[in-house]
């Protein structure tokens, strides 16, 4: 049996789809759906049982013999909003909850793969190396990034033993992200803007070394992120520590915009707008995920090229009014 927390989220449901593709359906899904439409992300998935996040530790206690024999916990559940200001909530939800799961996995020697975040890298002033050696030097720019960093550091103190792997997801996009509100990817936001207004708004740059629209990100299709996650959970259970999850290539917002306009069959029309002050102080101008470590761990599947990934998302989902995989 495999446990997937955050199973109704963007990456979580893609991970469950990937498990289903492998013929695995003995899966416990854990999430908190509340009044959102996240439940719709589960409709095509095959699984054993769904458990609400707040009931999960009780459920483990009541079904101890079942959970103690789990093959893996894939822990993706978290508040992932970089705009969340309640640091106490983030530490309870992202840090302390994760520690509780980790302690259970240690006690029963269960493989645990969990979502760290590229947000732990902060502005990137210390690079994007996924080695655990220098993670104390990283300076996250927001409480969300810090809550993820805190759990990474907690695991480092126990040397990621006996079997923990953290995945630092970069800019993930793809179907089933519609519940994310302001945290939706630019691909989806751009689709709505272009469809409704005929143009795309991008933030101006406030650093002279970056022209408007030439800020760079490492964009990764969610299906690729899911494959990397399942590989670490099931295929190489001896690969411990932190691993980046990206394409290993930084593209500009203009590159991404070109791919979106092309997939929609529209002429490019971009307006550069002022960046709100509350974003300026937390804005990353460049991210890129070195992928050497995951490749050395044996992962060989190439990531989907950006243009192809955007085309698949836009043409096969958004333009078909099929918002979910």
**Predicted confidence (pLDDT) per residue in 58-74, tens digit:** 999 999 999 999 999 99
Q: Is 197 a residue whose pLDDT tops 70?
A: yes
Q: Is 282 a residue whose pLDDT tops 80?
A: no
Instruction: Please provide the average confidence, as pLDDT, over all residues in the chain.
Output: 94
Whole-number pLDDT of residue 156? 96
77 is a domain residue: yes
Sheet holding 27-31, edge to edge: 49-52, 27-31, 2-5, 72-75, 111-115, 164-169, 241-245
Summarize the confidence of residues 9-38 as an average pLDDT: 96
Whole-number pLDDT of residue 106? 96
101 is a domain residue: yes
Q: Is 117 a residue whose pLDDT tops 70?
A: yes
Q: Is 281 a residue whose pLDDT tops 70?
A: yes
pLDDT category, 258, cuts 50, 70, 90? very high
Summarize the confidence of residues 203-227 as an average pLDDT: 96
132 is a domain residue: yes
Summarize the confidence of residues 262-288 as an average pLDDT: 91
Whole-number pLDDT of residue 277? 87
Whole-number pLDDT of residue 323? 62
Residue range of the domain that includes 62: 2-173+219-247+288-301
Task: Please report, rounded to a whole number, the percentage of residues in the chain having pLDDT higher than 90.
Answer: 87
Instruction: Provide the domain count of the chain.
Output: 1
90 is a domain residue: yes
Whole-number pLDDT of residue 213? 96
Helix 253-264 × helix 186-197 angle, to 10°: 50
pLDDT category, 290, cuts 50, 70, 90? very high
280 is a domain residue: no
Q: Is 299 a residue whose pLDDT tops 90?
A: yes
Summarize the confidence of residues 172-199 as an average pLDDT: 92
In terms of Cβ atoms closer than 10 Å to its own Cβ (0-12, 13-18, 19+), residue 259 is buried
Q: Known catalytic residues?
A: 144, 180
188 is a domain residue: no
Report which DSSP code applies to 250. Answer: -
Each residue's pLDDT tens digit, 130-161: 999 989 999 998 999 999 999 999 999 999 98
Residue 23: CATH number of its domain? 3.40.50.720
Q: Is 91 a residue whose pLDDT tops 90?
A: yes
Nearest-Å Rg of the Cα atoms of the chain is 19
Which one is predicted more confidently, 46 or 83? 46
Long-range contact pairs involving 274-278 (C-beta distance under 8 Å, separation at least 24): 274/203, 274/204, 275/203, 275/204, 275/206
73 is a domain residue: yes
pLDDT category, 175, cuts 50, 70, 90? very high
Cβ atoms 270, 257 nearer than 8 A: yes
Cβ atoms 218, 250 nearer than 8 A: yes
Task: Please report, rounded to a whole number, the percentage of residues in the chain having pLDDT higher than 70.
Answer: 99
149 is a domain residue: yes
Q: Is 274 a residue whose pLDDT tops 70?
A: yes
């Amino acid at each position: 049996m495999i446990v997937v927390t955050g199973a109704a989220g963007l990456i979580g449901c893609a991970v469950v789809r990937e498990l289903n593709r492998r013929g695995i359906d003995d899966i416990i899904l854990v999430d908190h759906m509340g009044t959102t439409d996240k439940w719709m992300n589960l409709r095509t998935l095959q699984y054993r049982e769904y458990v609400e996040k707040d009931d999960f530790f009780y459920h483990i206690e009541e079904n101890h013999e079942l959970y103690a024999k789990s093959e893996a916990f894939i822990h993706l559940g978290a508040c992932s909003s970089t705009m969340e200001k309640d640091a106490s909530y983030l530490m309870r939800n992202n840090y302390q909850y994760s520690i509780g799961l980790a302690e259970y996995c240690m006690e029963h020697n269960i493989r645990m793969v969990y979502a760290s975040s590229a947000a732990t890298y902060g502005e990137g002033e210390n690079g994007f190396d996924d080695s655990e050696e220098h993670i104390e030097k990283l300076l996250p720019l927001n409480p969300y990034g810090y809550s993820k960093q805190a759990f990474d550091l907690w695991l480092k103190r126990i040397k990621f033993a006996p079997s923990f792997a953290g995945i630092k997801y970069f800019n993930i996009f793809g179907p089933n992200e519609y519940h994310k509100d302001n945290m939706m990817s630019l691909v989806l936001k751009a689709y709505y803007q272009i469809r409704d207004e005929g143009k795309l708004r991008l933030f101006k740059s406030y650093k002279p070394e970056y022209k408007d629209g030439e800020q760079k990100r490492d964009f990764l299709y969610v299906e690729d992120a899911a494959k990397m996650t399942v590989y670490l959970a099931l295929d190489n259970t001896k690969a411990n520590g932190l691993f980046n999850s990206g394409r290993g290539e930084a593209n500009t917002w203009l590159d991404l915009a070109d791919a979106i306009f092309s997939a929609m069959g529209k002429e490019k029309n971009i307006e550069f707008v002022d960046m709100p002050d509350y974003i300026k102080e937390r804005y990353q101008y460049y991210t890129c995920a070195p992928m050497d470590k995951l490749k050395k761990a044996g992962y060989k599947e190439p990531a989907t090229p950006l243009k192809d990934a955007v085309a698949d998302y836009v043409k096969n989902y958004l333009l078909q009014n099929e918002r979910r995989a």
